[in-house]
Structure 1
Amino acid sequence: MPENKAELNRMISESSSQADFSGVVYLKQGKEILSETVRGYANRAEQRLNTVYTRFGIASGCKLFTSIGICQLVEEEIISFKTPISQCLDRSFPNFDEDITIHHLLTHTSGIPDYFDEEEMDDYEELWENLPVYKMKGLKDFLPLFQDKHMMFPAGERFHYNNAGYIILGLIIEQQTGLRFTEYIESKIFKKCGMYDSGYFSMDQLPANTALGYIDDHENGTWRTNHYSVPIKGGADGGAYTTAPDMMKFWEALLQNELLSEEMTKTLLHPHVDVKAEVKYGYGIWMNEKNGSIFKLHVMGYDPGISFCSSVYPQSNSKLVILSNKEDGPRNVTLAIENECMKSTGKRF
């Protein structure tokens, strides 16, 4: 980590400006907050500025919450990672392999059809041209988009990022607990962590101090909100809202084994599958490897009008949260911070 805190913040401000960033960059090492950089408007029409405590959507960044919920059920011996989905969910998937397990869903190796295949589609808004987003209020509402489709490949064959798999995991949590998925995560994770500003809010009932997501049309110099571009309420594959301090509380609680036992936390954060060279995937979390060891754990999320990256660097006891109400920016700022730290110390975070 750079010794000069002022120089670090100057670099973060500069990289944020270059990326035309709108949001919050929150960096902490140990107990010391190194940066609380804030830029842009939470509401452009009213020119209401973002603050450190503004709520932002995090899209797929909350798949990790779903994974933790499943791990909690495993600890309670309600299910196991080897449990086939047919034994823990009363839903019909006529064309799915019978040997698909919880582990396959958690690691994106199930081979099931996705309702939004990110390797084939690049415009999430296309999904909602014929299906109004205001009807997507619960996990079951996603089932018609993939339930009767055929497998993409045999279960366990390879990694293929899959949103539908996490919808199924959320349905399993609902059936096994008797709670709505969002209620379970808010009570068993957010409340436990003291994340009192976080939740799965409906877009037509957003609480105070929540950033609106913006989609820019650079060609015409215009913008619009993402209200008609994402489901009205988030769920098991994405869509929660959080603040930078709340996300930091989450990381600290998770790594201090307050959400899961030490053994189960290690299972969650274990590199279960290879994605590509030096990139691994655990249960709901990405991992970057160098010289045979993990130097970075991270989650990320991208939806129309939303972008999010949050990383943990175990070697330096550092944690980074970057939230934005635009479609890009966090990745570039993350790389700039990592490069600056490597330049000043001669080694990675």
Structure 2
Amino acid sequence: MDIGQMVSIHAEKTGFSGVVLLKERNQILVEKAFGQADRSNNLSNTLDTRFGIASGCKLFTAIAICQLVEKGILSFDTKVSDCLDIDFPHFDSEITIHHLLTHSSGIPDYFDEAVMDDFADLWKAVPMYTIKRLHDFLPLFQSQHMNFQPGEKFSYNNAGFIILGLVIEQQTGVEFTEYIEKNVFRTANMMESGYFELDQLPAHTAIGYMDKENGTWTTNIYSLPIKGGSDGGAFITAQDMMKLWDSLFAHKLLNESMTNALLTPYVCEKDEEYYGYGIWITKREGEIFKYHLMGYDPGGSFHSSVYPNSQVKLVIPSNKEKGPYGITCEIEKLLSL
């Protein structure tokens, strides 16, 4: 079966809503859009539709930090207390940039999955429409106590990337989203991507939908911070995300040495699943099988992978809460990746 046909059949069967962009070297194998960007107005997703990618954009933050290290402004061993003038009364003074980038700092997260299982519940105490800047996240975790000692283990942590964004702002004097749009998106020629506010989304941007078991749905406008930041929330087109991968591996965003530092598997989450700087790294029999990103928010999901041995790149953004992972697995099977 042709891979494009397989993707279409799977998308129709599962109700996938989003875009699938698959490229091998310089050849596009699949480029298709499915579902609706705006259900109320019956507007379809297109290849030019922008999607929120949740935690998929932690890579952008990591690239920005690596740019500052490349310029000598920071090092990966720089302590947070030496590069950020914000008081965290109960945080360990030995926390470094490396710890934050690899989710091994031990700091508390602002969304504790052990206590809450619905991200939207977070905004009952702090309205999501008040979260527009990185500093707005601080009251959610700033005065809490450490969960473990820095470097002790891997524990996925959004608050750590909020702190990294604040470091970028202090060290550059530029608001985080402005820095990323200029030094990552524009450098990679990602001209359609950006950090947009949910209550004033630009044209050609998919609305995020949460489907209910009774067949009804709601949008995600009351479930997310009104504007994304350094831990998630950018909007991209599939083509722009492919440009990001191409620019990263062509060393247009970072020099070769710094690119290799970003793509190094530093900490093991489980079995052969590792984490580099803002990026997941899967090994098979000890060798790197793929670099990948994933993001999940109410009303959105995202997977994107690079398979270095076969030079295959895959981008799948969606404006529903699931879908990209299943298509990724089907493509890996069909291409014998």
Confirm or deny that 1:9 pairs with 2:1.
no
2:310 maps to a residue whose letter is S
Match for residue 275 of structure 2?
281
Aligned 8 A contact 1:118 1:161 in 2: no
Distance 2:47 2:117 in 1: 31
Identity over aligned pairs, percent: 60
Q: Give the alignment's TM-score, normalised by structure 2.
A: 0.99
Aligned equivalents of 1:47 and 1:321: distance in 2?
24
After superposition, residues 95-110 of structure 1 pair within 5 angstroms as: 95-110=90-105
Structure 2 regions of 5+ residues with no counterpart? Answer: none
Q: CA 1:119–1:292 in structure 2 vs 1: closer, same or farther (change >3 Å)?
A: farther
Structure 1, residues 120-162: CA drift from partner, whole Å, max 9, x if none? 5321000011211110000000000000000000110000000
Alignment of 1:1-349 (within 5 A): 7-118=2-113, 120-218=115-213, 220-342=214-336, 349=337
SS at 2:2 equivalent: helix
Superposed CA RMSD: 0.9
Q: Give the match's secondary structure for 2:335.
A: helix
Distance, in Å, in 2 between the alignment partners of 1:270 and 1:216 is 38
| Distance in 2 separating the partners of 1:119 and 1:176 | 34
Structure 1 window deviating more from structure 2 (333-342 vs 225-234): it is 333-342
| Contact 1:117 1:162 survives alignment (8 Å) | no
Whole-angstrom CA distance in 2 between matches of 1:216 and 1:22: 12
Q: 1:205 is matched by which residue type in structure 2?
A: Q
Deviation, 1:118, is: 3.6
Answer whether contact 1:194 1:249 (CA < 8 A) is retained: yes
Deviations 1:95-124 (A, max 9, x none): 000100000000000000000134553210
The code of the aligned residue for 2:335 comes to C
C-alpha displacement at 1:19, in angstroms? 2.1
CA drift of 1:20 comes to 1.3
Please tell me whether the aligned partners of residues 54 and 209 of structure 1 are also in contact (alpha carbons under 8 angstroms): yes
Corresponding position of 1:3: none
Amino acid at match of 1:125: A
Aligned to 1:345: none
The one-letter code matched in structure 2 to 1:313 is: Y
Aligned to 1:346: none
Are the equivalent residues in 2 in contact too, given 1:19–1:332 (CA < 8 A)? no
Q: Distance in 2 between matches of 1:215 and 1:20?
A: 13
* Distance in structure 2 (CA, Å) of the matches to 1:221 and 1:245: 32
- Return the alpha-carbon distance in structure 1 between the equivalents of residues 204 and 176 of structure 2: 24
Q: Give the alignment's TM-score, normalised by structure 1.
A: 0.95
The aligned length equals: 337
Deviations 1:53-105, CA, capped at 9 Å, x for gaps = 10000000000000000000101111110011000000000000010000000
The whole-number CA distance in structure 1 between the counterparts of 2:13 and 2:95 is 45
